[in-house]
Amino acid sequence: MSDATAVEIARSVNAGESSAAKRARAANDRIAERDGVIGAYLSVTSELARTHAARVDARIAAGERLPLAGVPLAIKDNMCVTGTRTTCASKILADWIAPYTATAVQRLLDAGAIPLGKTNLDEFAMGSSCENSALGKTANPWDLGRVPGGSSGGSVAAVAGGEATVSLGSDTGGSIREPAAFCGVVGFKPTYGRVSRYGLIAFASSLDQIGPIATTVADAALVYDVMAGHDPMDATSVDRPVELASPGLREDLRGVRIGIVREFALTELDPAVRAVYERAYADLEKLGAELVEVALPTAEYGIATYYLIAPAECSSNLARFDGMRYGLRVEGRDVGATYEATRAAGFGDEVKRRILIGTYALSSGYYDAYYVRAQKARTLIAGDFAKAFASCDAIACPAAATPAFAFAAKTDPVSMYLMDYYTIPMSLAGLPSLSVPCGYVTPAGGTSPMPLGLELSAPLFAERSLLGIAHAYERGTRHAEARSIPDLPRTAVAR
């Protein structure tokens, strides 16, 4: 039961062959069995799951047909769900109870999904390993000594470990795609503005985007189709008709042009990793695609550009967490001292680092030299993508330069920031982009193969085309069907 896809579950529940209540019980049993080992969840909402399952079964009995009937759903803990702890994995919000539900989440619940719980993340979604959480530690189900990736590490680990059928993550610079590659699942970031951000606690408002994580492209497309579309509660939501992706899933790539980026040379990668991506490109050709070289000359400035824009927006967004309105409050001798004590105690090192970088970049005398120049570079990056897409339908490149690394293997911020080298340019341009499993490699010092992901990106609002291409690659290579995480111990692992 736990290995069924979302498409299969919805079909069986709608047909009366199974029930949402049975699906909820099976999912909760799997969480109880495994999460002491994986640590994907910060909170498990068993009672809420049972309540929603009963409602779904009643609606089915009344003759309704629901797109996500009985599908177990995990939710990244930076998205609000009424009456649940919504923490952003931060001490400053450790006990905050959300008074409303995010639009993207609500649309999935209305479609019949069952909310299992809230998943771990890097604090305020700032990180690439899920090691920055102040409230828990999540392991990669493939190797419990390795990170799941970040920031949506808990959401990805829940799906990869069989503790949820689908999950929601948020992607600012790669936070869905990189962990999906590390854990051998599908992670999809739609076009910026295509999915409502209402109820998503903001990190960088011009970059954040909610997206689905699943074991198959078809499941990711199903979830996307349900939650995409304009939301008047979100000023950045795009009022443009949604072209459903599920009907456009294809079996081959005949007539498709795939761009291979000149500046993303595979020669820079470890030979074993390079071989996996070379096979992935060859497989695209075998499926009928024409590979064409494209240029992204400004992509190399992606990291520097991102780490000015995102921290600047972070410093503004996180100013609200001051102990005065909600969350942690540490009393000081006066208002200023209370602000200082609350933020010093409530924020972790990485969040403080990014607030300082962003505040500096926005300060008088430096705004034009840093923030404005970064915005100009962002425009150039988006322009290069537009030129590249004039000669191709999608772009293929690595989702990550390495497989998942061991805990504490990257102790300096720069090496961690470079993990998003291949994902950040697409985020700066607002493009739809995903990671799909493309093979396995045994890391240096490792004892078992770890997954890698192929990143595919498409022009703005070309989600249907992108998911169709990814589906053809997935079906043609069958990497996802080969996924088989090792047997997990049944007792909690000290990490």
For the question of residue 237 being annotated catalytic, the response is no
CA distance 73 to 68: 10
Of 255, 251, 302, 261, give the one whose Cα is nearest residue 281.
261
Contact 253, 288 (CB under 8 A): yes
Options 12, 19, 76, 410, the catalytic residue: 76
CA atoms within 13 A on the CB side of 442: 4
Catalytic residue among 133, 175, 315, 465: 175
- 151 noted as active-site residue: yes
* Long-range contacts (CB closer than 8 Å, 24 or more residues apart) made by 297-302: 297/263, 297/384, 298/377, 298/380, 298/381, 298/384, 299/261, 299/263, 299/264, 299/381, 299/384, 299/425, 300/263, 301/377, 301/380, 301/381, 302/381, 302/421, 302/424, 302/425, 302/428
Neighbour tally for 277: CB within 10 Å: 24
The one catalytic residue among 151, 167, 246, 435: 151
**CB 164 within 8 Å of CB 157:** no
Instruction: Give me the numbers of helices (H) and strands (E) for the chain, helices first please.
Output: 15, 11
Residue 299's region, left for phi above 0, alpha for psi from -120 to 50, else beta, is alpha
Annotated catalytic, 76?
yes
Q: How far apart, in whole angstroms, are the C-alpha atoms of residue 458 and residue 491?
A: 43
Q: Which residues are catalytic?
A: 76, 151, 175
